[in-house]
Amino acid sequence: MALLTETEFTEAYRPNYEDVLRFVRRRAHPLNVDDIVGETFLAAWRRRTELPPDPRPWLFRAARNVMLNSARGTNRQTAVAGKVAQSAEPLTSGGLSDLERRVDLVDAWRSMAAADQEVLALHVWEDLSAKDAATVLGLSRAAYAMRLTRAKRHLARLLE
Q: Which residues of the chain have pLDDT under 70?
A: 1-4, 71-99
Q: What is the pLDDT of residue 89?
A: 47
How far apart CA 60 and CA 66 sit, in angstroms, is 10
Q: What is the pLDDT of residue 73?
A: 42
Q: What is the pLDDT of residue 92?
A: 43
Q: What is the pLDDT of residue 91?
A: 42
How far apart CA 18 and CA 70 sit, in angstroms, is 21
Q: Are 106 and 81 in contact (CB under 8 A)?
A: yes
How far apart CA 6 and CA 13 sit, in angstroms, is 10
Q: Of 41, 46, 52, 39, nearest to 13 (Cα)?
A: 41
How far apart CA 84 and CA 103 sit, in angstroms, is 10
Q: What is the pLDDT of residue 29?
A: 83
Q: What is the pLDDT of residue 3?
A: 66
Q: What is the pLDDT of residue 61?
A: 95
Q: What is the pLDDT of residue 59?
A: 95
Q: What is the pLDDT of residues 60-77, one digit of tens each?
A: 999 999 988 874 444 445
Which residues are CB-contacts of 60 (< 8 A; sequence separation ≥ 6)?
A: 19, 20, 23, 122, 126, 128, 132, 135, 136
